[in-house]
Structure 1
Amino acid sequence: MPGRSSSNSGSAGFISFSGIESALSSLRNFQSCISSGMDIVTSVALDLVQTQTEVSSEYSMEKAMVEFVIMDRELNNYIKAVESAMNHVKEERPENIPDLKLLVEKKFLSLQSKNSDADFQNNEKFVQFKQQLKELKKRCGLQADREADAPEGVDEDMIVTQSQTNFICPITQLEMKKPVKNKVCGHTYEEEAIVRMIESKHKRKKKACCPKIGCSHTDMRMSDLIQDEALRRAIENHNKKRHRHSE
C-alpha cells in the first residue's frame, strides 16, 4: 500500500503512486519482450515449413505462440486492474480508501473471468502467425506442384515469369525484396516504396489510396502495414531455384 502524508487536508493528493507507476512501466516493457518472443517463434515456425521439418516441431511452435498470447492477455488484464484500482483510489476520500492489493486482485479476477478463445483472434501477432504459416505452405506447395507437373521441354523462363506475377510491387513494378502487406485490403508492396508514398500524401494533407489497380481502399495508414515474411521467403526460394537452373 503506498505511503500517506501525515497532513489531514485534501484526499488523493496524499497517496504516492510513483512506485506503482514505475512498476507498470516495467510491466509494459515486459509486454514488448513478449512481442519480440512471438516474432522469434513466427520466424522459427516459418523456417520449419520452409525446410519441410516434421509437423510435430511446427505444432510445438504453435503451442509456444498460445503460451505467449495467454501471458500477454494476463499481463494486459493485470495492468488494467492496477490502473482501474488507482483511478478508484484517487476518487476516494482518505478515510474511505480500501486495501489497494485486495482491490487490484478483485478487479484482476473480474477481467480474467471474461477471457475467451475469441481473445486469440484479437491478438494481431497470433493472427499474423497463422496467416503467414498458411500462406508459406500454400506458396511452397503451389511451386512444388508447378515444378512437378511441368512437361519436359517447357521453357523454364516462362515458368519463372508466371511465378513472379505476385512478386511485383504495384508501385515500382520491380520484384519485391522487403514486401509488406496491407491488413485492410491484403495487397502487398515494397516497404520503402509504400512508406514513401503514404508519407508524401499525408504531408500534403491528402489520403493515400492503395496503388493496386481496382482496390477500393482509399485511406491507407502506416499502421495498416505488416511485414509479409511468407512472401519474402517465397521470393527468396524462387530466386534460389532460378539461380540453380541457370547454372
Structure 2
Amino acid sequence: MENLQSFMEQLPDLVMAYGMKVILALVIFFIGKYFAGLAKRITANVLSRKTEKTVSSFVSNMAWAVVFTFTVIATLGQLGIQTASLVAVLGAAGLAVGLALQGSLSNFASGVLLVMFRPCRVGDYVEAGGVAGVVDEITIFATRLKTPDNKVITLPNSSLMNGSITNYSAMSTRRLDLVIGVSYDADIKKTKQLLIDILENHEKVLKDPSYTVGLHALADSSINFVVRPWVNSSDYWPTHFDLMEKIKLALDENGIGIPYPQMDIHVKELPSTAAK
C-alpha cells in the first residue's frame, strides 16, 4: 500500500516529465514529416526549371528520404533513446542489412545510373525488362511505365539497367517499314509509281531523309514491295495507319490485286488407275 501510495504521489510528476517528452516527440515527428514533404516539393519545383522531370523526380525523392531520416532520429532522441548508440548499432548491422537488401541496393544504384546516363527519360516510350510503355516516373528503387491501354507497370530499376532498353522516343524521326504484296499479274512499274505518288502527296512523310520504295522479294504468292518513309516520331502510328489505308484504296482503284496465299496442286494419274 505504501508503494502504491508513493507511486500515486509521483504520478503527476512522471506524467509531466514523460508526457511532455512524448508530446514534443510527436510534434518533432509531424513537423519533420511536413518539412520532408516541403523539401521534396521545393526541390522538384527548383530542379524542374533547370533540369528535366526525370532528374527532378529522383532528387526530390532523395531529399524527402534524407529529411525524414533525420526526423526519425530527432524523434527518438527526444524520447530519451541514445541515438548515437542507435547509429552505432545500425552501422554494425549495416553489412547484414546490406546482404539482406542487396536487391533494393541494386535498384537504388541502378536508379542513380538511370539519372546519370539517361537511357530513358520521363515521357519516352521504351521497351525494357520484357514490357513496353511510356516512362511516367523514375523513383529511387523503381520505374513506373504506362502502357498504351492505360495500365501501370512498376519495374525495378535493376531490370532496366541489367538488360537492353529500346527507346522509341530518343530520336526526333523514325522510319516506317511497310511491306506491300501485289499479284504477279500486276504491272511492276505502275505499282511502284503509285506507291511513290502516295508518299509524295502525304503531308506527314518527310522529304529529308528521303523515302525508299523498291521491289523486295518474289515471294510464293506475291511480289513484295518495301515502302520506307521517314516521319516525325510523334506521327509514327497515325501515319502508319493512314498510309496502309491509302495504299489499299489506291491499289483497288487501279485494279492491282493483293493476292491471298495460294498453292498449285498437280495431280498425277497412277498407272493402276489408268489400266482400270
Alignment TM class, shorter chain as reference: under 0.3
Structure with higher RCO (Cα < 8 A, 6+ apart) = 1
The structure that is helix-richer by fraction is 1
The structure that is strand-richer by fraction is 2
Q: Higher Cα Rg: structure 1 or 2? A: 2
Scaled by the length of structure 2, the TM-score of the pair is: 0.24
Scaled by the length of structure 1, the TM-score of the pair is: 0.26
